[in-house]
Structure 1
Amino acid sequence: MDQALEPVLVVIPTYNERENLEPIIARLHAALPSAHVLVVDDGSPDGTGDLADGLAAADSRVNVLHRTEKAGLGAAYIAGFSWALERDFAVVVEMDADGSHAPEDLPRMLAALGDADLVLGSRYVPGGRVVNWPKRREFLSKGGNLYARLALGAKVKDITGGYRAFRRAVLEKLKLGTVASHGYCFQIDLAWRTIEAGFTVVEVPITFAERERGESKMSGSIVREAYIRVTKWGLRRRGTQLLSLFKR
Protein backbone atom coordinates (compact mmCIF):
# COMPACT_ATOMS: atom_id res chain seq x y z
CA MET A 1 0.00 0.00 0.00
CA ASP A 2 1.06 3.60 -0.66
CA GLN A 3 3.22 4.71 2.28
CA ALA A 4 1.42 8.07 2.23
CA LEU A 5 -1.74 6.20 3.24
CA GLU A 6 -0.29 4.76 6.42
CA PRO A 7 -0.86 4.36 9.30
CA VAL A 8 -4.50 3.26 9.07
CA LEU A 9 -6.95 3.44 11.97
CA VAL A 10 -10.18 1.40 11.89
CA VAL A 11 -12.83 2.89 14.17
CA ILE A 12 -15.31 0.29 15.47
CA PRO A 13 -18.23 1.62 17.56
CA THR A 14 -19.72 -0.92 19.96
CA TYR A 15 -22.77 -1.37 22.12
CA ASN A 16 -23.39 -4.91 23.34
CA GLU A 17 -21.10 -6.54 20.78
CA ARG A 18 -19.16 -8.84 23.11
CA GLU A 19 -19.77 -11.91 20.92
CA ASN A 20 -18.69 -10.15 17.73
CA LEU A 21 -15.76 -7.94 18.69
CA GLU A 22 -12.88 -10.39 19.01
CA PRO A 23 -13.70 -12.30 15.78
CA ILE A 24 -13.99 -9.11 13.69
CA ILE A 25 -10.67 -7.75 14.98
CA ALA A 26 -8.99 -11.10 14.29
CA ARG A 27 -10.33 -11.07 10.71
CA LEU A 28 -9.23 -7.47 10.26
CA HIS A 29 -5.66 -8.22 11.32
CA ALA A 30 -5.57 -11.32 9.13
CA ALA A 31 -6.57 -9.15 6.14
CA LEU A 32 -4.50 -6.09 7.06
CA PRO A 33 -1.89 -6.83 9.76
CA SER A 34 -0.65 -3.23 10.00
CA ALA A 35 -4.08 -1.75 10.78
CA HIS A 36 -4.68 -0.10 14.13
CA VAL A 37 -8.09 -0.38 15.78
CA LEU A 38 -10.02 2.01 18.00
CA VAL A 39 -13.00 0.45 19.76
CA VAL A 40 -15.44 3.18 20.81
CA ASP A 41 -17.66 1.58 23.43
CA ASP A 42 -20.78 3.34 24.67
CA GLY A 43 -20.87 1.77 28.12
CA SER A 44 -22.06 -1.65 26.93
CA PRO A 45 -23.78 -3.48 29.81
CA ASP A 46 -22.75 -6.86 28.35
CA GLY A 47 -19.05 -6.26 29.08
CA THR A 48 -17.91 -5.35 25.56
CA GLY A 49 -15.75 -2.56 26.97
CA ASP A 50 -13.98 -4.92 29.39
CA LEU A 51 -13.31 -7.37 26.58
CA ALA A 52 -11.92 -4.54 24.43
CA ASP A 53 -9.59 -3.53 27.28
CA GLY A 54 -8.31 -7.10 27.43
CA LEU A 55 -7.67 -7.17 23.68
CA ALA A 56 -5.86 -3.83 23.91
CA ALA A 57 -3.67 -5.06 26.75
CA ALA A 58 -2.61 -8.02 24.62
CA ASP A 59 -2.09 -6.15 21.32
CA SER A 60 -0.62 -2.66 20.90
CA ARG A 61 -2.56 -2.23 17.65
CA VAL A 62 -5.86 -2.17 19.60
CA ASN A 63 -7.03 0.90 21.50
CA VAL A 64 -10.23 1.60 23.42
CA LEU A 65 -12.24 4.77 23.95
CA HIS A 66 -14.87 4.44 26.68
CA ARG A 67 -17.99 6.61 26.63
CA THR A 68 -20.44 6.64 29.50
CA GLU A 69 -23.72 6.31 27.61
CA LYS A 70 -25.29 5.20 24.36
CA ALA A 71 -25.36 8.47 22.43
CA GLY A 72 -25.75 7.24 18.86
CA LEU A 73 -23.59 6.04 16.00
CA GLY A 74 -22.73 9.52 14.78
CA ALA A 75 -21.47 10.72 18.15
CA ALA A 76 -19.36 7.58 18.54
CA TYR A 77 -17.72 8.08 15.16
CA ILE A 78 -17.09 11.78 15.80
CA ALA A 79 -15.35 10.84 19.05
CA GLY A 80 -13.28 8.27 17.16
CA PHE A 81 -12.39 10.71 14.38
CA SER A 82 -11.32 13.33 16.92
CA TRP A 83 -9.14 10.75 18.65
CA ALA A 84 -7.53 9.87 15.31
CA LEU A 85 -6.85 13.50 14.38
CA GLU A 86 -5.03 14.01 17.67
CA ARG A 87 -2.57 11.37 16.44
CA ASP A 88 -0.71 10.74 13.17
CA PHE A 89 -3.13 8.46 11.30
CA ALA A 90 -3.25 9.09 7.55
CA VAL A 91 -6.45 7.10 6.90
CA VAL A 92 -9.48 6.56 9.11
CA VAL A 93 -11.92 3.73 8.39
CA GLU A 94 -15.49 3.19 9.59
CA MET A 95 -16.37 -0.45 10.24
CA ASP A 96 -19.25 -2.15 12.07
CA ALA A 97 -18.47 -4.63 14.84
CA ASP A 98 -21.14 -7.13 13.83
CA GLY A 99 -19.37 -8.71 10.86
CA SER A 100 -21.59 -7.14 8.20
CA HIS A 101 -18.53 -5.30 6.83
CA ALA A 102 -16.03 -7.88 5.62
CA PRO A 103 -12.47 -6.92 6.61
CA GLU A 104 -11.32 -8.89 3.57
CA ASP A 105 -12.75 -6.07 1.39
CA LEU A 106 -10.67 -3.39 3.11
CA PRO A 107 -7.39 -3.80 1.14
CA ARG A 108 -9.29 -3.06 -2.10
CA MET A 109 -10.92 -0.02 -0.52
CA LEU A 110 -7.58 1.33 0.65
CA ALA A 111 -6.05 0.75 -2.78
CA ALA A 112 -8.81 2.91 -4.27
CA LEU A 113 -7.78 5.78 -1.97
CA GLY A 114 -4.81 6.26 -4.28
CA ASP A 115 -7.17 8.17 -6.60
CA ALA A 116 -9.75 9.38 -4.09
CA ASP A 117 -10.29 11.20 -0.82
CA LEU A 118 -13.19 9.09 0.41
CA VAL A 119 -13.91 5.49 -0.57
CA LEU A 120 -17.38 4.12 0.06
CA GLY A 121 -17.83 0.38 0.38
CA SER A 122 -20.86 0.02 -1.87
CA ARG A 123 -23.58 -2.61 -1.98
CA TYR A 124 -25.20 -1.11 -5.06
CA VAL A 125 -22.49 -0.79 -7.70
CA PRO A 126 -21.64 -3.69 -10.04
CA GLY A 127 -20.00 -6.42 -8.01
CA GLY A 128 -21.58 -5.30 -4.73
CA ARG A 129 -24.21 -7.44 -3.03
CA VAL A 130 -26.21 -8.05 0.13
CA VAL A 131 -26.39 -11.47 1.81
CA ASN A 132 -29.13 -12.78 4.13
CA TRP A 133 -30.95 -9.47 4.45
CA PRO A 134 -34.73 -9.44 5.01
CA LYS A 135 -36.57 -8.03 1.98
CA ARG A 136 -37.95 -5.22 4.13
CA ARG A 137 -34.46 -4.05 5.09
CA GLU A 138 -33.24 -4.23 1.51
CA PHE A 139 -36.25 -2.25 0.29
CA LEU A 140 -35.71 0.33 3.03
CA SER A 141 -32.01 0.67 2.18
CA LYS A 142 -32.48 0.97 -1.57
CA GLY A 143 -35.38 3.38 -1.11
CA GLY A 144 -33.35 5.53 1.27
CA ASN A 145 -30.44 5.70 -1.14
CA LEU A 146 -32.72 6.60 -4.04
CA TYR A 147 -34.42 9.34 -2.01
CA ALA A 148 -31.08 10.78 -0.90
CA ARG A 149 -29.76 10.82 -4.48
CA LEU A 150 -32.85 12.61 -5.76
CA ALA A 151 -33.03 15.09 -2.88
CA LEU A 152 -29.34 15.96 -2.80
CA GLY A 153 -28.33 15.40 -6.40
CA ALA A 154 -25.58 13.07 -5.21
CA LYS A 155 -24.27 10.68 -7.83
CA VAL A 156 -23.09 7.93 -5.49
CA LYS A 157 -25.19 4.76 -5.35
CA ASP A 158 -24.72 3.86 -1.68
CA ILE A 159 -24.60 7.07 0.34
CA THR A 160 -26.11 5.38 3.42
CA GLY A 161 -23.47 2.65 3.75
CA GLY A 162 -21.31 2.61 6.87
CA TYR A 163 -18.15 0.97 5.53
CA ARG A 164 -15.84 3.71 4.29
CA ALA A 165 -12.27 5.02 4.32
CA PHE A 166 -11.36 8.70 4.69
CA ARG A 167 -8.09 10.39 3.96
CA ARG A 168 -7.06 12.46 6.96
CA ALA A 169 -7.40 15.72 4.98
CA VAL A 170 -11.14 15.17 4.56
CA LEU A 171 -11.80 14.88 8.28
CA GLU A 172 -9.57 17.88 8.94
CA LYS A 173 -11.58 19.95 6.45
CA LEU A 174 -15.08 18.97 7.59
CA LYS A 175 -16.46 20.81 10.61
CA LEU A 176 -17.03 17.70 12.69
CA GLY A 177 -18.19 19.74 15.67
CA THR A 178 -21.25 20.88 13.71
CA VAL A 179 -22.42 17.34 12.81
CA ALA A 180 -25.67 16.71 14.68
CA SER A 181 -26.82 13.53 12.94
CA HIS A 182 -27.00 10.56 15.28
CA GLY A 183 -28.15 7.37 13.55
CA TYR A 184 -27.44 6.10 10.07
CA CYS A 185 -28.27 9.59 8.79
CA PHE A 186 -24.73 10.36 9.95
CA GLN A 187 -23.42 8.41 6.97
CA ILE A 188 -25.41 10.52 4.51
CA ASP A 189 -24.35 13.69 6.33
CA LEU A 190 -20.60 12.96 6.19
CA ALA A 191 -20.65 11.78 2.56
CA TRP A 192 -22.67 14.81 1.46
CA ARG A 193 -20.35 17.22 3.31
CA THR A 194 -17.39 15.54 1.64
CA ILE A 195 -18.94 15.91 -1.81
CA GLU A 196 -19.90 19.55 -1.18
CA ALA A 197 -16.35 20.31 -0.03
CA GLY A 198 -15.06 19.24 -3.46
CA PHE A 199 -13.32 16.02 -2.47
CA THR A 200 -13.20 13.01 -4.77
CA VAL A 201 -15.52 10.19 -3.70
CA VAL A 202 -15.41 6.72 -5.27
CA GLU A 203 -17.33 3.53 -4.61
CA VAL A 204 -15.84 0.05 -4.32
CA PRO A 205 -18.10 -3.01 -4.42
CA ILE A 206 -18.43 -4.96 -1.17
CA THR A 207 -20.42 -7.91 0.10
CA PHE A 208 -22.65 -6.85 2.99
CA ALA A 209 -23.78 -9.73 5.21
CA GLU A 210 -26.53 -9.57 7.81
CA ARG A 211 -25.21 -10.02 11.34
CA GLU A 212 -25.23 -13.58 12.70
CA ARG A 213 -25.12 -12.69 16.41
CA GLY A 214 -26.78 -9.93 18.41
CA GLU A 215 -29.52 -7.50 17.45
CA SER A 216 -29.63 -4.82 14.78
CA LYS A 217 -29.55 -1.20 16.02
CA MET A 218 -31.88 -0.05 13.22
CA SER A 219 -35.13 1.55 14.44
CA GLY A 220 -38.01 3.66 13.23
CA SER A 221 -36.57 6.77 14.88
CA ILE A 222 -33.33 6.34 12.93
CA VAL A 223 -35.26 6.16 9.66
CA ARG A 224 -37.34 9.22 10.55
CA GLU A 225 -34.25 11.24 11.45
CA ALA A 226 -32.67 10.44 8.08
CA TYR A 227 -35.84 11.28 6.14
CA ILE A 228 -36.33 14.62 7.91
CA ARG A 229 -32.72 15.74 7.66
CA VAL A 230 -32.26 14.71 4.01
CA THR A 231 -35.47 16.53 3.10
CA LYS A 232 -34.20 19.70 4.79
CA TRP A 233 -30.82 19.45 3.08
CA GLY A 234 -32.50 18.86 -0.27
CA LEU A 235 -34.80 21.87 0.13
CA ARG A 236 -31.86 24.03 1.14
CA ARG A 237 -29.97 22.87 -1.95
CA ARG A 238 -32.93 23.68 -4.22
CA GLY A 239 -33.29 27.08 -2.58
CA THR A 240 -29.63 27.88 -3.17
CA GLN A 241 -29.96 26.86 -6.82
CA LEU A 242 -33.00 29.12 -7.28
CA LEU A 243 -31.26 32.09 -5.65
CA SER A 244 -28.28 31.67 -7.96
CA LEU A 245 -30.64 31.75 -10.98
CA PHE A 246 -32.29 34.96 -9.81
CA LYS A 247 -28.90 36.65 -9.31
CA ARG A 248 -27.87 36.06 -12.93
Structure 2
Amino acid sequence: MELLLKIFGMEIIVPDTIVNMWIVTILLIIFAFIVNSKIKKASVDEVPSNFLNVVELIVEAIENLVKSTMGPQNIKFASYILTLALFLAVANLFGLLGFSPPTSDYSVTFSLALITFVLTQIWKFRNSRGLGGYLKSFTEPMVFLTPLNVIGELANPISLSFRLFGNVMSGGIIMALLYQALGLIAPVVAAPLHAYFDVFSGLLQTFIFIMLSMIFIGGAEE
Protein backbone atom coordinates (compact mmCIF):
# COMPACT_ATOMS: atom_id res chain seq x y z
CA MET A 1 0.00 0.00 0.00
CA GLU A 2 1.69 3.17 -1.22
CA LEU A 3 1.30 6.50 0.53
CA LEU A 4 0.91 9.82 -1.26
CA LEU A 5 2.24 12.76 0.75
CA LYS A 6 1.86 16.41 -0.21
CA ILE A 7 4.59 18.62 1.23
CA PHE A 8 5.00 22.27 0.18
CA GLY A 9 2.94 21.63 -2.93
CA MET A 10 5.02 18.62 -3.96
CA GLU A 11 3.64 15.11 -4.19
CA ILE A 12 5.86 12.41 -2.69
CA ILE A 13 5.04 8.75 -3.25
CA VAL A 14 6.18 6.48 -0.41
CA PRO A 15 6.55 2.87 -1.70
CA ASP A 16 4.78 0.06 0.12
CA THR A 17 8.14 -1.45 1.08
CA ILE A 18 9.01 1.69 3.06
CA VAL A 19 5.57 1.71 4.70
CA ASN A 20 6.08 -1.94 5.65
CA MET A 21 9.53 -1.10 7.04
CA TRP A 22 7.94 1.36 9.45
CA ILE A 23 5.28 -1.21 10.38
CA VAL A 24 8.04 -3.72 11.21
CA THR A 25 9.90 -1.06 13.20
CA ILE A 26 6.77 -0.14 15.21
CA LEU A 27 6.02 -3.82 15.89
CA LEU A 28 9.57 -4.39 17.18
CA ILE A 29 9.37 -1.29 19.39
CA ILE A 30 6.11 -2.56 20.89
CA PHE A 31 7.72 -5.98 21.35
CA ALA A 32 10.68 -4.34 23.15
CA PHE A 33 8.34 -2.50 25.54
CA ILE A 34 6.45 -5.73 26.29
CA VAL A 35 9.69 -7.62 27.00
CA ASN A 36 10.93 -4.77 29.21
CA SER A 37 7.67 -4.72 31.15
CA LYS A 38 7.64 -8.49 31.70
CA ILE A 39 11.28 -8.51 32.81
CA LYS A 40 10.62 -5.78 35.38
CA LYS A 41 7.64 -7.71 36.77
CA ALA A 42 9.49 -11.04 36.85
CA SER A 43 10.73 -12.33 40.19
CA VAL A 44 13.99 -14.18 40.74
CA ASP A 45 12.14 -16.54 43.08
CA GLU A 46 9.62 -17.61 40.44
CA VAL A 47 9.97 -19.75 37.34
CA PRO A 48 10.17 -17.51 34.24
CA SER A 49 7.26 -17.64 31.82
CA ASN A 50 7.59 -19.43 28.47
CA PHE A 51 7.70 -16.04 26.77
CA LEU A 52 10.70 -14.88 28.81
CA ASN A 53 12.39 -18.26 28.33
CA VAL A 54 12.19 -17.82 24.55
CA VAL A 55 13.50 -14.25 24.79
CA GLU A 56 16.37 -15.37 27.01
CA LEU A 57 17.17 -18.19 24.57
CA ILE A 58 17.36 -15.72 21.65
CA VAL A 59 19.54 -13.28 23.59
CA GLU A 60 21.93 -16.00 24.75
CA ALA A 61 22.16 -17.40 21.21
CA ILE A 62 23.12 -14.00 19.81
CA GLU A 63 25.61 -13.35 22.62
CA ASN A 64 27.28 -16.73 22.05
CA LEU A 65 27.38 -16.06 18.30
CA VAL A 66 29.03 -12.67 18.87
CA LYS A 67 31.57 -14.15 21.29
CA SER A 68 32.52 -16.98 18.92
CA THR A 69 32.70 -14.72 15.85
CA MET A 70 34.04 -11.43 17.20
CA GLY A 71 35.59 -12.48 20.50
CA PRO A 72 34.36 -11.98 24.10
CA GLN A 73 35.81 -8.45 24.15
CA ASN A 74 33.27 -7.35 21.54
CA ILE A 75 30.17 -8.49 23.41
CA LYS A 76 29.07 -4.84 23.38
CA PHE A 77 28.01 -5.29 19.75
CA ALA A 78 25.51 -8.01 20.72
CA SER A 79 22.67 -5.49 21.13
CA TYR A 80 23.22 -4.18 17.59
CA ILE A 81 23.44 -7.67 16.10
CA LEU A 82 20.30 -8.75 17.98
CA THR A 83 18.37 -5.70 16.76
CA LEU A 84 19.58 -6.32 13.21
CA ALA A 85 18.65 -10.01 13.36
CA LEU A 86 15.15 -9.34 14.69
CA PHE A 87 14.45 -6.63 12.13
CA LEU A 88 15.69 -8.71 9.19
CA ALA A 89 13.89 -11.87 10.33
CA VAL A 90 10.54 -10.10 10.69
CA ALA A 91 11.04 -8.08 7.50
CA ASN A 92 11.96 -11.14 5.44
CA LEU A 93 8.98 -13.10 6.80
CA PHE A 94 6.57 -10.29 5.97
CA GLY A 95 5.89 -11.90 2.60
CA LEU A 96 3.99 -14.69 4.36
CA LEU A 97 1.29 -12.15 5.26
CA GLY A 98 0.89 -11.00 1.68
CA PHE A 99 2.93 -7.82 2.10
CA SER A 100 5.99 -6.74 0.15
CA PRO A 101 9.06 -7.49 2.31
CA PRO A 102 10.89 -4.24 3.21
CA THR A 103 14.16 -5.93 2.28
CA SER A 104 12.99 -6.21 -1.35
CA ASP A 105 13.70 -2.46 -1.53
CA TYR A 106 17.38 -1.69 -2.11
CA SER A 107 17.19 1.57 -0.14
CA VAL A 108 16.37 -0.48 2.97
CA THR A 109 19.12 -3.07 2.57
CA PHE A 110 21.69 -0.43 1.64
CA SER A 111 20.77 1.66 4.70
CA LEU A 112 21.32 -1.37 6.95
CA ALA A 113 24.62 -2.17 5.23
CA LEU A 114 25.64 1.48 5.58
CA ILE A 115 25.09 1.33 9.35
CA THR A 116 27.40 -1.70 9.53
CA PHE A 117 29.94 0.11 7.34
CA VAL A 118 29.93 3.22 9.57
CA LEU A 119 30.30 1.08 12.70
CA THR A 120 33.18 -0.77 11.06
CA GLN A 121 35.02 2.45 10.18
CA ILE A 122 34.45 3.96 13.63
CA TRP A 123 35.76 0.79 15.30
CA LYS A 124 38.71 0.66 12.91
CA PHE A 125 39.53 4.33 13.60
CA ARG A 126 39.31 3.77 17.35
CA ASN A 127 41.60 0.73 17.25
CA SER A 128 44.06 2.51 14.96
CA ARG A 129 44.62 5.11 17.70
CA GLY A 130 44.27 8.20 15.58
CA LEU A 131 43.88 9.40 12.02
CA GLY A 132 47.46 8.49 11.10
CA GLY A 133 47.07 4.87 12.12
CA TYR A 134 43.67 4.68 10.43
CA LEU A 135 45.03 5.92 7.10
CA LYS A 136 48.12 3.75 7.43
CA SER A 137 45.94 0.63 7.71
CA PHE A 138 44.92 1.11 4.07
CA THR A 139 48.56 0.93 2.97
CA GLU A 140 49.17 -2.52 4.43
CA PRO A 141 50.75 -4.90 3.58
CA MET A 142 52.21 -2.81 0.72
CA VAL A 143 51.72 0.84 -0.22
CA PHE A 144 50.86 0.17 -3.87
CA LEU A 145 47.86 -1.88 -2.70
CA THR A 146 46.24 1.22 -1.14
CA PRO A 147 43.74 1.79 -4.01
CA LEU A 148 42.64 -1.85 -3.84
CA ASN A 149 42.25 -1.67 -0.06
CA VAL A 150 40.08 1.46 -0.35
CA ILE A 151 37.94 -0.04 -3.11
CA GLY A 152 37.58 -3.27 -1.13
CA GLU A 153 36.44 -1.33 1.94
CA LEU A 154 33.88 0.67 -0.05
CA ALA A 155 32.64 -2.48 -1.79
CA ASN A 156 31.67 -4.16 1.49
CA PRO A 157 28.36 -2.29 2.05
CA ILE A 158 27.45 -2.63 -1.63
CA SER A 159 28.02 -6.39 -1.72
CA LEU A 160 26.33 -6.83 1.67
CA SER A 161 23.22 -4.91 0.59
CA PHE A 162 22.96 -6.43 -2.90
CA ARG A 163 23.17 -9.99 -1.56
CA LEU A 164 20.17 -9.51 0.72
CA PHE A 165 18.21 -7.35 -1.74
CA GLY A 166 18.76 -9.70 -4.68
CA ASN A 167 17.69 -12.84 -2.85
CA VAL A 168 14.55 -11.35 -1.32
CA MET A 169 13.48 -9.48 -4.47
CA SER A 170 14.04 -12.49 -6.76
CA GLY A 171 11.93 -14.67 -4.45
CA GLY A 172 9.12 -12.09 -4.56
CA ILE A 173 9.23 -11.88 -8.36
CA ILE A 174 9.12 -15.66 -8.73
CA MET A 175 6.12 -15.93 -6.40
CA ALA A 176 4.29 -13.08 -8.17
CA LEU A 177 4.81 -14.72 -11.57
CA LEU A 178 3.64 -18.04 -10.15
CA TYR A 179 0.41 -16.55 -8.80
CA GLN A 180 -0.31 -14.85 -12.11
CA ALA A 181 0.35 -18.04 -14.09
CA LEU A 182 -1.61 -20.49 -11.93
CA GLY A 183 -4.53 -18.33 -10.91
CA LEU A 184 -6.92 -19.92 -8.40
CA ILE A 185 -4.81 -23.03 -7.79
CA ALA A 186 -1.70 -20.96 -7.02
CA PRO A 187 -2.17 -21.00 -3.18
CA VAL A 188 -2.08 -24.82 -3.19
CA VAL A 189 0.99 -25.14 -5.40
CA ALA A 190 2.80 -22.16 -3.92
CA ALA A 191 2.74 -23.35 -0.28
CA PRO A 192 6.09 -25.23 -0.40
CA LEU A 193 7.67 -22.36 -2.36
CA HIS A 194 6.53 -19.91 0.32
CA ALA A 195 8.21 -22.16 2.87
CA TYR A 196 11.45 -21.89 0.91
CA PHE A 197 11.51 -18.27 -0.28
CA ASP A 198 9.86 -16.62 2.73
CA VAL A 199 10.93 -18.85 5.62
CA PHE A 200 14.09 -20.79 4.78
CA SER A 201 15.68 -18.26 2.42
CA GLY A 202 14.52 -15.31 4.55
CA LEU A 203 16.04 -16.67 7.75
CA LEU A 204 19.16 -17.83 5.89
CA GLN A 205 19.73 -14.35 4.46
CA THR A 206 19.23 -12.90 7.94
CA PHE A 207 21.94 -15.17 9.31
CA ILE A 208 24.32 -14.38 6.43
CA PHE A 209 23.80 -10.62 6.85
CA ILE A 210 24.51 -10.59 10.59
CA MET A 211 27.47 -12.96 10.17
CA LEU A 212 29.08 -10.72 7.55
CA SER A 213 28.35 -7.67 9.71
CA MET A 214 30.16 -9.30 12.64
CA ILE A 215 33.08 -10.31 10.41
CA PHE A 216 33.45 -6.78 9.02
CA ILE A 217 33.25 -5.10 12.43
CA GLY A 218 35.42 -7.73 14.14
CA GLY A 219 37.99 -7.52 11.34
CA ALA A 220 38.42 -3.80 12.00
CA GLU A 221 39.98 -4.69 15.37
CA GLU A 222 42.90 -6.63 13.93
The reply to whether TM is greater than 0.5 is no
Q: Please identify which structure carries the higher strand content.
A: 1
Normalising by structure 1, we get a TM-score of 0.28
Determine which structure has more spread, i.e. the larger CA radius of gyration: 2
